Amino acid sequence: MTTATLSGVREARDRYVSAAVTAPPLVVTSASGARIQADDGRSYIDFAGGIGCQNLGHGAPEVVEAIHAQTDRYLHQCFMVGMYEPYVEVCRRLAEVYPGSGEYKSVLLNSGAEGVENAVKIARAATGRPAVIAFERAFHGRTLLTMSLTSKVAPYKRGFGPFAPEVYRAPAPYEYRGIGSDEALDGLRRLFKAEVDPATVACVVLEPVQGEGGFVPMPLDFPRRLHELCAAHGILYVDDEVQAGVGRTGPVWAIEHYGVTPDLLVSGKSLGGGLPLAAVTGRAELMDAVGPGGLGGTFGGNPVACAAASVVLDTVASPAFRDRAEALGREIRTRLDGLAGELECVGDVRGLGPMLALELIADGAPATELTAAVVGAAHARGLLLLSCGLDGNVIRLLPPVSIADGDLADGLDALEGALRVVLSD
Ligand SMILES: Cc1ncc(COP(=O)(O)O)c(C=O)c1O
Protein backbone atom coordinates (compact mmCIF):
# COMPACT_ATOMS: atom_id res chain seq x y z
CA MET A 1 0.00 0.00 0.00
CA THR A 2 1.31 3.45 -0.84
CA THR A 3 -0.46 6.74 -0.14
CA ALA A 4 -4.08 6.81 0.93
CA THR A 5 -6.71 7.21 -1.75
CA LEU A 6 -9.65 9.35 -0.70
CA SER A 7 -11.94 6.39 -0.17
CA GLY A 8 -9.26 4.75 1.94
CA VAL A 9 -8.47 7.69 4.21
CA ARG A 10 -10.12 6.17 7.27
CA GLU A 11 -8.37 2.83 6.85
CA ALA A 12 -5.02 4.43 6.08
CA ARG A 13 -5.45 6.73 9.05
CA ASP A 14 -5.87 3.70 11.33
CA ARG A 15 -2.79 2.10 9.83
CA TYR A 16 -0.45 5.12 9.64
CA VAL A 17 -1.57 7.85 12.05
CA SER A 18 -0.94 7.53 15.78
CA ALA A 19 -4.09 6.45 17.59
CA ALA A 20 -3.30 9.18 20.15
CA VAL A 21 -4.33 11.81 17.61
CA THR A 22 -8.09 11.53 17.78
CA ALA A 23 -10.49 12.49 14.97
CA PRO A 24 -14.24 12.23 14.48
CA PRO A 25 -15.57 10.15 11.58
CA LEU A 26 -15.22 12.94 9.05
CA VAL A 27 -13.00 13.11 5.98
CA VAL A 28 -12.80 16.67 4.68
CA THR A 29 -12.64 17.20 0.95
CA SER A 30 -13.14 20.97 0.72
CA ALA A 31 -14.27 23.88 2.86
CA SER A 32 -15.65 27.35 2.32
CA GLY A 33 -17.11 29.87 4.74
CA ALA A 34 -18.86 27.91 7.48
CA ARG A 35 -19.29 24.79 5.32
CA ILE A 36 -17.18 21.66 5.11
CA GLN A 37 -17.66 19.12 2.33
CA ALA A 38 -16.94 15.56 3.33
CA ASP A 39 -16.24 12.36 1.42
CA ASP A 40 -19.66 11.03 2.45
CA GLY A 41 -21.12 13.55 0.00
CA ARG A 42 -22.55 15.72 2.77
CA SER A 43 -22.06 19.38 3.48
CA TYR A 44 -21.50 20.05 7.19
CA ILE A 45 -22.05 23.32 9.01
CA ASP A 46 -18.89 24.04 10.95
CA PHE A 47 -19.35 25.29 14.53
CA ALA A 48 -15.83 24.09 15.40
CA GLY A 49 -13.73 26.19 13.04
CA GLY A 50 -10.69 23.92 13.33
CA ILE A 51 -10.92 24.72 17.09
CA GLY A 52 -11.27 28.46 16.79
CA CYS A 53 -8.96 29.02 13.83
CA GLN A 54 -11.57 30.16 11.34
CA ASN A 55 -13.03 33.37 12.75
CA LEU A 56 -13.05 34.70 9.17
CA GLY A 57 -14.38 31.44 7.73
CA HIS A 58 -12.74 28.75 5.63
CA GLY A 59 -10.92 30.13 2.63
CA ALA A 60 -11.83 33.78 3.19
CA PRO A 61 -11.23 35.22 -0.33
CA GLU A 62 -9.08 38.18 0.79
CA VAL A 63 -6.92 35.86 2.92
CA VAL A 64 -6.49 33.34 0.11
CA GLU A 65 -5.61 36.14 -2.30
CA ALA A 66 -2.86 37.39 0.01
CA ILE A 67 -1.56 33.84 0.41
CA HIS A 68 -1.41 33.34 -3.35
CA ALA A 69 0.39 36.63 -3.88
CA GLN A 70 2.98 35.84 -1.21
CA THR A 71 3.43 32.30 -2.51
CA ASP A 72 4.45 33.76 -5.87
CA ARG A 73 7.00 36.09 -4.21
CA TYR A 74 8.89 33.82 -1.82
CA LEU A 75 8.22 31.10 0.75
CA HIS A 76 10.28 30.29 3.83
CA GLN A 77 13.21 32.58 4.58
CA CYS A 78 13.80 32.41 8.37
CA PHE A 79 13.87 35.90 9.83
CA MET A 80 17.22 35.12 11.42
CA VAL A 81 18.75 34.65 7.96
CA GLY A 82 17.09 37.52 6.13
CA MET A 83 14.41 39.91 7.34
CA TYR A 84 11.27 40.34 5.28
CA GLU A 85 8.33 42.71 5.15
CA PRO A 86 5.38 40.39 5.98
CA TYR A 87 6.91 39.57 9.40
CA VAL A 88 7.49 43.21 10.26
CA GLU A 89 4.03 44.16 8.98
CA VAL A 90 2.32 41.66 11.30
CA CYS A 91 4.34 42.97 14.26
CA ARG A 92 3.41 46.54 13.32
CA ARG A 93 -0.28 45.63 13.22
CA LEU A 94 -0.05 43.72 16.52
CA ALA A 95 1.45 46.84 18.11
CA GLU A 96 -1.31 49.03 16.64
CA VAL A 97 -4.14 46.86 17.95
CA TYR A 98 -2.55 46.15 21.35
CA PRO A 99 -5.02 46.88 24.17
CA GLY A 100 -2.91 49.67 25.63
CA SER A 101 -1.22 52.90 24.66
CA GLY A 102 2.51 52.38 24.73
CA GLU A 103 5.32 51.02 22.63
CA TYR A 104 4.79 47.36 21.83
CA LYS A 105 6.89 44.72 20.06
CA SER A 106 6.30 41.11 19.04
CA VAL A 107 7.97 37.82 18.27
CA LEU A 108 6.25 35.45 15.84
CA LEU A 109 6.02 31.70 16.37
CA ASN A 110 4.31 28.60 15.03
CA SER A 111 1.72 27.56 17.60
CA GLY A 112 -0.16 28.76 20.63
CA ALA A 113 1.88 26.51 22.90
CA GLU A 114 5.09 27.95 21.52
CA GLY A 115 3.65 31.41 22.11
CA VAL A 116 2.89 30.69 25.77
CA GLU A 117 6.33 29.09 26.25
CA ASN A 118 7.96 32.20 24.87
CA ALA A 119 5.82 34.52 26.98
CA VAL A 120 7.08 32.68 30.07
CA LYS A 121 10.68 32.90 28.82
CA ILE A 122 10.29 36.64 28.31
CA ALA A 123 8.65 37.12 31.71
CA ARG A 124 11.44 35.18 33.42
CA ALA A 125 14.17 37.08 31.60
CA ALA A 126 12.54 40.44 32.29
CA THR A 127 11.92 39.82 35.99
CA GLY A 128 14.80 37.49 36.83
CA ARG A 129 12.24 35.29 38.64
CA PRO A 130 11.48 31.59 38.06
CA ALA A 131 7.90 30.89 39.16
CA VAL A 132 4.75 30.91 37.04
CA ILE A 133 1.14 30.85 38.19
CA ALA A 134 -1.56 29.20 36.15
CA PHE A 135 -5.19 28.67 37.02
CA GLU A 136 -7.62 25.82 37.50
CA ARG A 137 -9.14 24.58 34.21
CA ALA A 138 -6.43 26.37 32.22
CA PHE A 139 -5.37 25.10 28.82
CA HIS A 140 -2.15 26.52 27.43
CA GLY A 141 -0.86 23.72 25.18
CA ARG A 142 0.78 20.32 25.00
CA THR A 143 4.53 21.01 25.18
CA LEU A 144 6.32 20.22 28.42
CA LEU A 145 5.99 23.68 29.96
CA THR A 146 2.51 24.42 28.63
CA MET A 147 1.28 20.94 29.57
CA SER A 148 2.56 21.72 33.07
CA LEU A 149 0.51 24.94 33.02
CA THR A 150 -2.54 23.07 31.67
CA SER A 151 -5.07 21.87 34.21
CA LYS A 152 -6.63 18.66 32.91
CA VAL A 153 -5.05 15.30 33.64
CA ALA A 154 -6.65 13.10 31.00
CA PRO A 155 -5.79 13.23 28.19
CA TYR A 156 -3.26 16.07 28.43
CA LYS A 157 -0.98 15.11 31.36
CA ARG A 158 -1.49 11.45 32.21
CA GLY A 159 1.72 9.50 31.72
CA PHE A 160 3.72 12.52 30.56
CA GLY A 161 5.44 13.62 33.79
CA PRO A 162 7.67 14.75 35.35
CA PHE A 163 6.35 18.23 34.69
CA ALA A 164 8.18 21.53 34.51
CA PRO A 165 9.13 22.92 37.93
CA GLU A 166 8.07 26.24 39.44
CA VAL A 167 4.50 26.06 38.13
CA TYR A 168 1.85 26.85 40.75
CA ARG A 169 -1.92 26.67 40.41
CA ALA A 170 -4.49 29.12 41.74
CA PRO A 171 -8.28 28.85 41.72
CA ALA A 172 -10.05 30.59 38.85
CA PRO A 173 -13.50 32.12 39.02
CA TYR A 174 -16.33 29.88 37.82
CA GLU A 175 -19.48 31.72 38.74
CA TYR A 176 -21.86 28.95 37.70
CA ARG A 177 -20.18 26.67 40.26
CA GLY A 178 -20.09 29.33 42.96
CA ILE A 179 -16.49 30.56 42.67
CA GLY A 180 -16.38 34.33 42.27
CA SER A 181 -13.55 36.83 42.04
CA ASP A 182 -13.24 37.14 45.84
CA GLU A 183 -12.81 33.40 46.37
CA ALA A 184 -10.31 33.11 43.51
CA LEU A 185 -8.22 36.06 44.72
CA ASP A 186 -8.29 34.72 48.29
CA GLY A 187 -6.98 31.46 46.88
CA LEU A 188 -4.13 33.26 45.17
CA ARG A 189 -3.22 35.13 48.35
CA ARG A 190 -3.25 31.79 50.21
CA LEU A 191 -0.92 30.38 47.56
CA PHE A 192 1.45 33.27 48.20
CA LYS A 193 1.49 32.34 51.90
CA ALA A 194 1.53 28.58 51.66
CA GLU A 195 3.35 27.62 48.47
CA VAL A 196 5.30 30.30 46.67
CA ASP A 197 6.88 33.60 47.63
CA PRO A 198 5.31 36.22 45.32
CA ALA A 199 8.75 37.83 45.09
CA THR A 200 9.86 34.79 43.06
CA VAL A 201 6.90 34.84 40.65
CA ALA A 202 7.64 36.03 37.11
CA CYS A 203 4.08 35.96 35.76
CA VAL A 204 0.54 34.76 35.92
CA VAL A 205 -0.94 33.26 32.74
CA LEU A 206 -4.70 33.55 32.29
CA GLU A 207 -7.23 33.06 29.49
CA PRO A 208 -9.87 35.84 29.59
CA VAL A 209 -12.40 33.19 28.58
CA GLN A 210 -11.17 29.73 29.49
CA GLY A 211 -11.47 27.70 26.30
CA GLU A 212 -10.76 24.01 26.68
CA GLY A 213 -11.60 24.41 30.38
CA GLY A 214 -15.27 25.02 29.59
CA PHE A 215 -15.75 28.43 27.98
CA VAL A 216 -15.70 30.09 31.37
CA PRO A 217 -15.48 33.88 31.01
CA MET A 218 -13.69 35.69 33.79
CA PRO A 219 -16.03 37.93 35.84
CA LEU A 220 -15.84 41.58 34.83
CA ASP A 221 -13.78 42.65 37.87
CA PHE A 222 -11.37 39.72 38.00
CA PRO A 223 -8.66 40.59 35.43
CA ARG A 224 -8.38 44.13 36.83
CA ARG A 225 -8.09 42.96 40.44
CA LEU A 226 -5.65 40.25 39.46
CA HIS A 227 -3.62 42.79 37.53
CA GLU A 228 -3.50 45.08 40.58
CA LEU A 229 -2.40 42.24 42.85
CA CYS A 230 0.27 41.25 40.32
CA ALA A 231 1.52 44.82 40.00
CA ALA A 232 1.82 45.11 43.79
CA HIS A 233 4.25 42.17 43.74
CA GLY A 234 6.09 42.99 40.50
CA ILE A 235 4.46 40.01 38.76
CA LEU A 236 3.73 40.24 35.02
CA TYR A 237 0.25 39.55 33.63
CA VAL A 238 0.32 37.26 30.59
CA ASP A 239 -2.97 37.28 28.68
CA ASP A 240 -3.47 34.05 26.72
CA GLU A 241 -5.71 35.09 23.82
CA VAL A 242 -4.94 32.06 21.65
CA GLN A 243 -8.57 30.94 21.59
CA ALA A 244 -10.49 34.02 22.78
CA GLY A 245 -8.59 36.59 20.70
CA VAL A 246 -8.50 37.74 17.07
CA GLY A 247 -12.10 38.91 17.08
CA ARG A 248 -13.61 35.80 18.65
CA THR A 249 -15.50 37.77 21.32
CA GLY A 250 -16.14 40.96 19.28
CA PRO A 251 -13.17 43.27 19.91
CA VAL A 252 -9.78 42.18 18.59
CA TRP A 253 -8.80 40.95 22.08
CA ALA A 254 -11.14 39.54 24.71
CA ILE A 255 -9.26 41.44 27.43
CA GLU A 256 -10.72 44.63 25.93
CA HIS A 257 -14.01 43.70 27.62
CA TYR A 258 -12.20 44.11 30.93
CA GLY A 259 -10.29 47.35 30.42
CA VAL A 260 -6.97 45.80 31.44
CA THR A 261 -3.65 46.29 29.67
CA PRO A 262 -1.71 43.05 30.02
CA ASP A 263 2.09 43.03 30.15
CA LEU A 264 2.30 40.31 27.49
CA LEU A 265 -0.36 38.97 25.15
CA VAL A 266 -0.23 35.62 23.34
CA SER A 267 -2.20 35.16 20.12
CA GLY A 268 -2.53 32.24 17.71
CA LYS A 269 -5.21 30.10 16.05
CA SER A 270 -7.28 32.49 13.86
CA LEU A 271 -4.30 34.87 13.59
CA GLY A 272 -2.92 32.94 10.60
CA GLY A 273 -6.28 32.72 8.80
CA GLY A 274 -5.84 28.96 8.49
CA LEU A 275 -2.04 28.87 8.46
CA PRO A 276 0.07 28.21 11.54
CA LEU A 277 1.09 31.44 13.24
CA ALA A 278 1.30 32.66 16.83
CA ALA A 279 2.72 35.73 18.50
CA VAL A 280 3.84 37.15 21.80
CA THR A 281 3.31 40.89 21.97
CA GLY A 282 4.14 43.13 24.87
CA ARG A 283 5.76 46.25 26.21
CA ALA A 284 8.90 47.00 24.25
CA GLU A 285 11.17 46.96 27.30
CA LEU A 286 9.94 43.48 28.27
CA MET A 287 10.26 42.12 24.74
CA ASP A 288 13.79 43.56 24.54
CA ALA A 289 14.81 42.14 27.94
CA VAL A 290 15.84 38.85 26.32
CA GLY A 291 19.37 38.75 24.94
CA PRO A 292 19.96 38.72 21.14
CA GLY A 293 19.15 35.29 19.70
CA GLY A 294 17.14 34.31 22.78
CA LEU A 295 13.85 34.27 20.87
CA GLY A 296 13.07 32.91 17.43
CA GLY A 297 12.80 29.61 15.59
CA THR A 298 13.22 28.26 12.09
CA PHE A 299 9.66 28.66 10.84
CA GLY A 300 8.23 31.24 13.25
CA GLY A 301 6.66 34.07 11.24
CA ASN A 302 6.58 32.19 7.95
CA PRO A 303 6.06 34.77 5.17
CA VAL A 304 2.91 33.15 3.78
CA ALA A 305 1.31 32.87 7.22
CA CYS A 306 2.26 36.50 7.84
CA ALA A 307 0.68 37.63 4.58
CA ALA A 308 -2.55 35.96 5.71
CA ALA A 309 -2.28 37.41 9.22
CA SER A 310 -2.00 41.00 8.02
CA VAL A 311 -5.33 40.60 6.23
CA VAL A 312 -6.84 38.86 9.26
CA LEU A 313 -5.75 41.65 11.61
CA ASP A 314 -7.02 44.39 9.28
CA THR A 315 -10.36 42.60 9.05
CA VAL A 316 -10.91 41.91 12.75
CA ALA A 317 -9.90 45.47 13.63
CA SER A 318 -12.60 46.88 11.33
CA PRO A 319 -15.86 48.26 12.79
CA ALA A 320 -17.85 46.09 10.36
CA PHE A 321 -16.33 42.89 11.75
CA ARG A 322 -17.02 43.94 15.31
CA ASP A 323 -20.63 44.86 14.50
CA ARG A 324 -21.10 41.49 12.86
CA ALA A 325 -19.52 39.67 15.82
CA GLU A 326 -21.74 41.48 18.29
CA ALA A 327 -24.89 40.80 16.25
CA LEU A 328 -23.89 37.14 15.94
CA GLY A 329 -23.31 36.93 19.69
CA ARG A 330 -26.74 38.40 20.42
CA GLU A 331 -28.45 36.06 17.99
CA ILE A 332 -26.80 32.90 19.28
CA ARG A 333 -27.31 33.88 22.91
CA THR A 334 -31.02 34.54 22.39
CA ARG A 335 -31.42 31.11 20.91
CA LEU A 336 -29.38 29.37 23.63
CA ASP A 337 -31.20 31.27 26.38
CA GLY A 338 -34.46 30.04 24.86
CA LEU A 339 -33.21 26.46 25.07
CA ALA A 340 -32.06 26.97 28.66
CA GLY A 341 -35.50 28.28 29.58
CA GLU A 342 -37.12 25.18 28.22
CA LEU A 343 -34.68 22.31 28.77
CA GLU A 344 -33.63 21.38 32.28
CA CYS A 345 -30.40 19.84 31.06
CA VAL A 346 -29.07 23.24 29.95
CA GLY A 347 -27.59 24.43 33.23
CA ASP A 348 -25.75 27.47 31.98
CA VAL A 349 -25.41 29.62 28.87
CA ARG A 350 -22.23 31.63 29.00
CA GLY A 351 -19.47 33.31 27.09
CA LEU A 352 -18.50 36.67 25.66
CA GLY A 353 -19.85 38.03 22.38
CA PRO A 354 -20.12 35.17 19.89
CA MET A 355 -17.81 32.89 21.94
CA LEU A 356 -20.65 31.01 23.61
CA ALA A 357 -21.33 27.67 25.22
CA LEU A 358 -23.95 25.50 26.90
CA GLU A 359 -23.12 23.60 30.09
CA LEU A 360 -25.21 20.43 30.23
CA ILE A 361 -26.22 18.91 33.54
CA ALA A 362 -28.26 16.07 34.99
CA ASP A 363 -29.56 16.72 38.52
CA GLY A 364 -27.02 19.54 38.79
CA ALA A 365 -24.07 17.24 38.03
CA PRO A 366 -22.06 17.39 34.80
CA ALA A 367 -23.88 15.44 32.06
CA THR A 368 -20.82 14.09 30.27
CA GLU A 369 -22.48 11.23 28.39
CA LEU A 370 -25.43 13.35 27.35
CA THR A 371 -23.03 15.94 25.93
CA ALA A 372 -21.16 13.33 23.89
CA ALA A 373 -24.50 12.04 22.60
CA VAL A 374 -25.57 15.56 21.57
CA VAL A 375 -22.29 16.10 19.70
CA GLY A 376 -22.86 12.76 17.92
CA ALA A 377 -26.50 13.55 17.11
CA ALA A 378 -25.48 16.96 15.77
CA HIS A 379 -22.90 15.29 13.51
CA ALA A 380 -25.63 13.02 12.17
CA ARG A 381 -27.65 16.19 11.41
CA GLY A 382 -24.74 17.76 9.56
CA LEU A 383 -23.40 20.03 12.30
CA LEU A 384 -19.84 19.90 13.64
CA LEU A 385 -19.65 20.67 17.35
CA LEU A 386 -16.95 20.45 20.00
CA SER A 387 -17.32 19.75 23.67
CA CYS A 388 -15.01 21.07 26.37
CA GLY A 389 -14.70 21.42 30.14
CA LEU A 390 -13.01 19.33 32.81
CA ASP A 391 -16.02 16.99 32.71
CA GLY A 392 -16.55 17.22 28.96
CA ASN A 393 -20.10 18.50 29.56
CA VAL A 394 -19.88 21.87 27.81
CA ILE A 395 -20.79 22.41 24.15
CA ARG A 396 -18.78 25.27 22.73
CA LEU A 397 -19.77 27.19 19.63
CA LEU A 398 -17.00 28.54 17.42
CA PRO A 399 -18.70 29.31 14.10
CA PRO A 400 -16.95 31.73 11.78
CA VAL A 401 -17.97 35.27 12.67
CA SER A 402 -18.64 35.69 8.95
CA ILE A 403 -21.13 32.78 8.88
CA ALA A 404 -24.05 33.33 6.50
CA ASP A 405 -27.43 33.88 8.19
CA GLY A 406 -28.88 30.74 6.60
CA ASP A 407 -26.01 28.55 7.80
CA LEU A 408 -26.30 29.98 11.30
CA ALA A 409 -30.04 29.30 11.43
CA ASP A 410 -29.56 25.76 10.08
CA GLY A 411 -26.73 25.11 12.54
CA LEU A 412 -28.74 26.29 15.53
CA ASP A 413 -31.73 24.24 14.36
CA ALA A 414 -29.46 21.19 14.13
CA LEU A 415 -28.14 21.85 17.64
CA GLU A 416 -31.65 22.13 19.03
CA GLY A 417 -32.75 19.03 17.10
CA ALA A 418 -29.78 17.09 18.47
CA LEU A 419 -30.57 18.11 22.05
CA ARG A 420 -34.21 17.17 21.69
CA VAL A 421 -33.57 13.80 20.04
CA VAL A 422 -31.02 12.80 22.67
CA LEU A 423 -33.34 13.87 25.50
CA SER A 424 -36.19 11.86 23.99
CA ASP A 425 -34.12 8.65 23.81
C1 LIG B 1 -6.01 29.28 25.33
C2 LIG B 1 -5.07 28.41 24.56
N3 LIG B 1 -3.74 28.58 24.72
C4 LIG B 1 -2.86 27.83 24.04
C5 LIG B 1 -3.28 26.84 23.17
C6 LIG B 1 -2.27 26.01 22.43
O7 LIG B 1 -2.31 26.32 21.09
P8 LIG B 1 -1.68 25.32 20.00
O9 LIG B 1 -2.59 24.13 19.95
O10 LIG B 1 -1.67 26.14 18.74
O11 LIG B 1 -0.33 24.98 20.46
C12 LIG B 1 -4.65 26.64 22.98
C13 LIG B 1 -5.12 25.59 22.06
O14 LIG B 1 -6.26 25.19 22.07
C15 LIG B 1 -5.57 27.44 23.70
O16 LIG B 1 -6.89 27.29 23.55
Ligand 1 center from residue 173 Cα (angstroms): 20
Low-confidence ranges of the chain (pLDDT < 50): 1-4
Q: Give, rounded to a whole angstrom, the gap between the first and last alpha carbons of the chain.
A: 42
Ligand 1 shell residues, CB under 6 Å: 51, 111-113, 116, 139-141, 207, 211-212, 240, 242-243, 268
Helices (H) and strands (E) counted in the chain, each on its own, are: 13, 18
| Gap from CA of 57 to ligand 1 centroid (Å) | 19
Ligand 1 geometric centre to CA of 141 (Å): 5
- pLDDT on residue 189: 98
Edge-to-edge strand list for the sheet holding 278-283: 104-109, 278-283, 264-267, 236-240, 201-206, 131-135, 167-170
The tens digit of pLDDT for each residue in 63-116 reads: 999 999 999 999 999 999 999 999 999 999 999 999 999 999 999 999 999 999
In terms of DSSP H, where are the helices of 195-318?
222-232, 284-287, 303-316
CA dihedral 397, 399, 405, 410 (to 10 degrees): -60
Burial 315-333 (b: 16+ CB within 10 A, else e): bbbeeebbebbbebbeebb
| Strand duo 201-206 + 131-135: pairing | parallel
Q: What is the pLDDT of residue 187?
A: 98
Q: Which of 392, 385, 402, 244 is nearest to 321 (CA)?
A: 402
Task: Give the CA distances from residue 341 to residues 25, 175, 347, in Å, rounded to whole numbers and listed in that order.
Answer: 32, 19, 10
* pLDDT at residue number 1: 39
For ligand 1, atom 13, the nearest C-alpha belongs to 141
DSSP 333: H
Under DSSP, the state recorded for 328 is H
Residue of the CA atom closest to atom 3 of ligand 1? 140
Flag whether the pTM goes above 0.95: yes
